[in-house]
Amino acid sequence: MTSRAQSASLEDKIYGCQRINNSEAASLFDWRLTALGRAADFRRRAVVPEQHVGFILDRIINFTNVCRAECAFCAYHARAGRVAAYRLSTDDICARVQELAEAGGTQVMLQGGLDPEYGLNDYLEMVKAVKTRFPDIWLHSFSPAEIVHMAEQSGKSIDAVIMALKDAGLDSVPGASDLLVDRIRDKVSPRKLSAAQWCDVMEGLHAHGMKSSATMTYGMGETIAERMEHLDTVRRVQDRTGIIQAFIPWSFSPAQTRMPDISAADGIDYLKTVAISRIYLDNVEHIQAGWLTEGLKPAQIALAMGADDMGGVLMEETVVKATGVRRTAHMEQFIDLIRNTGRAAVQRDSQYRIIKRF
């Protein structure tokens, strides 16, 4: 079969809403951006037919930057003489949640480094304190890496840790994935959880009826085939569990990390990654545009490349900011940006239910 015929066959599969395989998805990186965008937007409309774009008013509270993982791709963790260590008290955390509640926010993401001084009880008390004072705030918090850390610190199973967190009041867990390729993980984050452990956490969340998400940090020296390996892992986990509500790809920011020689991925690569994610992840309903790492304009274009959600209007964020990337946005910017794409802006909750239309 000629390459032209193969392309036509793949196009038929995409527009026929059929599942494509890894090699077919990899070949999409060679498509013209306009053709790829049209195909991804078609698949978006097949899954999310409403002509609106969602966002949520939330706050990321990074409660400690002490981290035993010390990943090479991270500029956030405490380093002697360069980045000062900190740990927020429960009162500090609750004060930040109070500010979110007063601003009409609905979701809090508690996230921190893998701090050796934090045991499972510390995390449980943190959750209980927030939920006791703010029962209507949705806690979409921690990460698979933090859950594995809690299990190792406490000597308990992943399942037992998830059950304890849920009983304490945790609502859902962001499925921060980095890159689910052990060759890359062994190089850039050897002290962090493995790809298999990430899957174990997702299975555990499923067993306890909790939702999650998945991310992909690309541009860390991986091959296109390895990006497909990551997407394949996400798709297989979603086939088994159905708990992944959204997928969020973002590019690696090398500044201030221990990987400064890697060139940052460009905007075309980002847009193609968004589009291919929409087409390949046929079982994930929402694709978020990563405005925090990519900027508002590329995120706006991503809405024509298969994305249907802008994620959070963040009141606070320090991990990406540590790389020198400093971007802010407010609700009015989001609304105008979305309207300028010809779609309606809606504020949503953590379960993607519409709270308000604009």
CATH code of the domain containing 190 = 3.20.20.70
Kindly state whether residue 2 falls inside one of the protein's structural domains.
Answer: no
Residue 71 annotated as binding site:
yes
User: Among 14-23, 31-40, 110-119, 255-264, which stretch is predicted with the lowest mean pLDDT?
Assistant: 255-264
Kindly state whether residue 353 falls inside one of the protein's structural domains.
Answer: no
Kindly state whether residue 16 falls inside one of the protein's structural domains.
Answer: no
In angstroms, rounded to a whole number, what is the distance separating the alpha carbons of residues 241 and 228?
Answer: 20
Kindly state whether residue 162 falls inside one of the protein's structural domains.
Answer: yes
Percent of the chain past pLDDT 90, that is, above it, reads 77
Indicate the pairing of strand 309-312 with strand 344-348: unpaired
Phi, psi values for residue 346, rounded to 5°: -135, 140
Number of domains in the chain: 1
Kindly state whether residue 357 falls inside one of the protein's structural domains.
Answer: no
Kindly state whether residue 160 falls inside one of the protein's structural domains.
Answer: yes
What is the DSSP annotation of 212-228?
EEEEEEE-SS--HHHHH
Domain that holds residue 77: 21-340
Kindly state whether residue 148 falls inside one of the protein's structural domains.
Answer: yes
Residue 143 annotated as binding site:
yes
Q: Which residue has the tokens 């599969």?
A: 13
Residue 73 annotated as binding site:
yes
Residue 42 annotated as binding site:
no
Kindly state whether residue 313 falls inside one of the protein's structural domains.
Answer: yes
pLDDT one-digit tens code per residue, 262-279: 555 678 999 999 999 999
pTM, two decimals, is: 0.90
pLDDT one-digit tens code per residue, 213-258: 999 999 988 999 999 999 999 999 999 999 999 999 998 865 555 5
Residue 94 annotated as binding site:
no
